Amino acid sequence: ETANGDLIEELMELTAQSLSTLEIAEHFNIIKEIGRGKYGRVLLVTHRCRGTPMALKVMPKASTKLQGFLREYCISLHLAHHPCIVGLFGIAFQSQEHYGFAQELVIGQDLFAVIRPRVGIPEPAAKRCAQQIASALEFIHGRGLVHRDVKPENILLLDRHCRRVKLADFGLAQRRGAMIRLISGTLPYMAPELCAVQAEGAPPLLVEPTLDTWAFGVVLFCILTGYFPWERCTPTDDFYQEFAEWRQAGEGEGAPEDVPSQWQRFSPPALAMFRGLLALDPEERSPAGEVIFYLLAGAVLLE
């Protein structure tokens, strides 16, 4: 893992030394904007020489630190050959006002766009999606890295039925063991230990794969139900508190009716899967890859 972290640092240094300066319109035909966020924009372009269609991620220098840009690009490049992670072209550059890099163009929607409110997506599609994202997360974690922003908006679908999906956006990714004081991420997917860092005077948190595992558990709940299990993992959130009390009661204790109302639709293997992914103690959390055994154990939702 340390070797992978050192490799990222070396890649960042090399990229900084060889970062070409170019104006976007001179090298790419801009067709349209396909994404926008706090980071900047994603443009659908074709390469003027090669004619290749690409997704160009461009970030304003005014709001982007060079180190942050280099880290995102180099982590993305380091992971891009996994089939369930968005690919890269190895083109990174700066223009007068932007940093940018070229990604594989994924034509299709993100997972969030196909989740029906209060319904979710069909169970077979949810299982296919879960297996592919579990594979991507195992790969990322095996290289000593943590995605830190696992959510449906960052899971791209090559088709509506989730036969092929890809994890995207490594803008918050970090080496395992990095220290965080300022919290980034989307509230419902943030693990309890991450929510606790927001409290005044709380010690900084070390980045661990278990942050992704928790977020992955919340994503699976969302795609199977069409709603969030809670707003945030804090004592003031009643839905979270109800879950936390049930989770702490221990495996196999209590009757089925003690399962919190939000979770009663799930089969016993599915509940066991969620208990693993959403263990309150990060050290007890299952690795993402273990979901595959539960998904093969039969139906996730009760009839």
| Domain spans, the chain | 2-103, 111-295
CA separation for the pair 160, 137 (Å, rounded): 21
149 in catalytic set? yes
234-259: average pLDDT: 84
1-30: average pLDDT: 91
pLDDT in tens, 192-207: 999 988 776 778 899 9
pLDDT in tens, 134-172: 999 999 999 999 999 999 999 999 999 999 999 999 999
Residue 278 pLDDT more than 70?
yes
Give the CA angle between residues 89, 44, 70 to the nearest 5°: 45
Question: What pTM was estimated for this model as a whole?
Answer: 0.94
Say which amino acid occupies 110: D
R_g of the chain computed on alpha carbons: 20
Find out whether 57 is annotated in a ligand binding site: yes
Q: Which of 6, 110, 149, 238 is catalytic?
A: 149
Please tell me the predicted confidence (pLDDT) of residue 255.
61
Out of 177-186, 215-224, 250-259, least confident range: 250-259
Token readout for 158 is: 């090559």
Q: Is 2-103 CATH 3.30.56.10? A: no
Per cent of the chain over pLDDT 90 is 85
Residue 102 pLDDT more than 70?
yes
2-21: average pLDDT: 90
Instruction: Report the top-level CATH class of 111-295.
Output: mainly alpha
Domain 2-103 shares a fold with domain 111-295: no
Say if residues 224 and 120 touch (Cβ distance below 8 Å).
yes
